Amino acid sequence: MLLRWSPYTLELRQPFTTATQSRTATPAMLVELEHEGLIGHGEASMPPYLGESEASATAFFTAAARLLAGRSDPFLLEDVLREIDSLAPGNTAAKAAIDIALHDWVGRRLGAPWHRLWGLDPARTPVTSFTLGIDTPEVVREKARAASEYRLLKVKLGRDSDRALISAIRSVSSTPLIVDANQGWTDREDALRQIEWLATQDVRLVEQPFARDRLEDTAWLRERSPLPLFADESCQRLSDVPRLAGVFDGINVKLMKCTGLREGRAMITVARALGLKVMLGCMTETSCAISAAAQLSPLVDWADLDGALLIRNDPFEGTRIVDGKVTLTDLPGIGIVRRSDVCQPSAVSR
């Protein structure tokens, strides 16, 4: 198997602001896995706060390319991806890129999309939330109006102006909300009061109220909270899931955190067995990684798969959001085609 990669800068339609940072672009890597004349596509999206970069991904892909050059059967993806994972700790987005490309290759060779190979009903996909970044009340009102086609809006909280932000949205929109504190709350009594108020504003769930390791405080809050609490930063990989039962009501699975479809699907299975709800999330990503994640979406309760809608230079077409709902295609593999009108960088091969 031959691995190629190239850096790609995701240009954001609007600056993206959360409790801890703001940015206008996201570095990514596009990868191709070629075998027997067939190409599978993959992607690593690397928001800087997660610690991966073009340099770290290049180092990882160089080692992975050496390993893949010695493997001749992409269908053994369980073995191959376990070996890829063992190459180095971390590098979860780079690992996800290879996982996605390998799944894409296998699905293309079989002529079927992964949701079909897994036996999932494409009619059971969830609605997806659309994220409104932190901004002034005037701008947020405008963004909420412009997002009227979505049936669920997501708002990043964790600042003093949180209630003003929600009130601004509620002045122009009655669409249900989910909120993400991104670890931004510190006092548990304050957090409870905030959630009790949010529950009166048709907010449906709260993501990551406290810092990732504050599980005791989160369990305290969950016992009292009128809204379900979902783990994001507290839940990176499969091994994190068991300790979150009884602490959170659900988990947010993201391919870039958990190394891809293989482990993401296992996380959903384990979460279900533990009675946890599941949300499928994303970073800012092209339709490549979003369409890969969407293959799993009939298995989950909530989707937050708006990543490709937030960029202006998506080089792929795939899963679309129709009437606010994740809509799968019948295209094989992860279900994407390249767009001819967006320039592709030339890939590096080792």
Q: Which stretch binds Mg ion (CB under 5 A): 11-19, 57-65, 172-180, 334-342?
A: 172-180
CA gap 208, 202 in Å, rounded: 18
Stretch that binds Mg ion, among 75-83, 99-107, 228-236, 256-264 (CB under 5 A): 228-236
Residues 279-298 that bind Mg ion (CB under 5 A): none
- Rounded to a whole number of angstroms, the minimum distance from the CB of residue 66 to Mg ion is 35
Nearer to Mg ion, 71 or 222 (CB): 222
Q: How far is the CB of 182 from Mg ion (least distance, A)?
A: 6
| Closest approach of Mg ion to the CB of residue 314, in Å | 22
- The residues, ordered by sequence, that sit 6+ positions from 120 with a Cβ below 8 Å of its Cβ are 295, 296, 298, 299
Stretch touching Mg ion by CB under 5 A, among 19-27, 64-72, 139-147, 224-232: 224-232
| 131 or 295: CB nearest Mg ion | 131
Residue 103 and residue 333 in contact, taking contact as beta carbons nearer than 8 Å: yes
Helix axes 188-199, 215-224, angle to 10 degrees: 40
Please report how close the Cβ of residue 244 comes to Mg ion at its closest, in angstroms.
14
CB nearer to Mg ion: give 31 or 165. Answer: 165
Long-range contacts formed by 307-311: CB under 8 A, 24+ apart: 307/45, 307/282, 307/283, 309/130, 310/12, 310/13, 310/14, 310/16, 310/131, 310/284, 311/10, 311/11, 311/12, 311/13, 311/26, 311/284, 311/285, 311/286
Which range touches Mg ion (CB under 5 A), out of 204-212, 253-261, 265-273, 286-294? Answer: 204-212
State the DSSP string of 126-193: PBB-EEE-S--HHHHHHHHHHTTT-S-EEEE--STTHHHHHHHHHTT----EEEE-TT----HHHHHH
Closest CA to 255 of 266, 243, 271, 245: 266
Which tokens in the block code for residue 135? 């901004």
- Residues 167 and 169: their CA atoms lie apart, in Å, by 5
Alpha carbon distance 308, 334 (integer Å): 15
Of 36-44, 79-87, 95-103, 225-233, the segment contacting Mg ion by CB under 5 A is 225-233
Q: Which CB, 99 or 207, lies closer to Mg ion?
A: 207
Q: Which is nearer to Mg ion, 271 or 331 (CB)?
A: 271
Q: Which stretch binds Mg ion (CB under 5 A): 77-85, 151-159, 179-187, 262-270?
A: 179-187
In the complex, minimum distance from the CB of residue 80 to Mg ion, in angstroms, rounded to a whole number? 30
Q: How far is the CB of 232 from Mg ion (least distance, A)?
A: 4
By beta carbon distance, the residue nearest Mg ion is: 232
Q: Is 232 one of the binding residues for Mg ion (CB under 5 A)?
A: yes
Give least dist CB 233 to Mg ion, A: 7
Q: Binding of Mg ion at residue 180 (CB under 5 A)?
A: yes
In 3-state terms, what secondary structure has residue 71? coil
Residue 263 makes contact with Mg ion by CB under 5 A: no
**At which residue do the structure tokens 């989707």 appear?**
303
Looking at the Cβ atoms of 49 and 323, the one nearer to Mg ion is: 49
Q: Footprint of Mg ion on this chain (CB under 5 A)?
A: 180, 207, 232
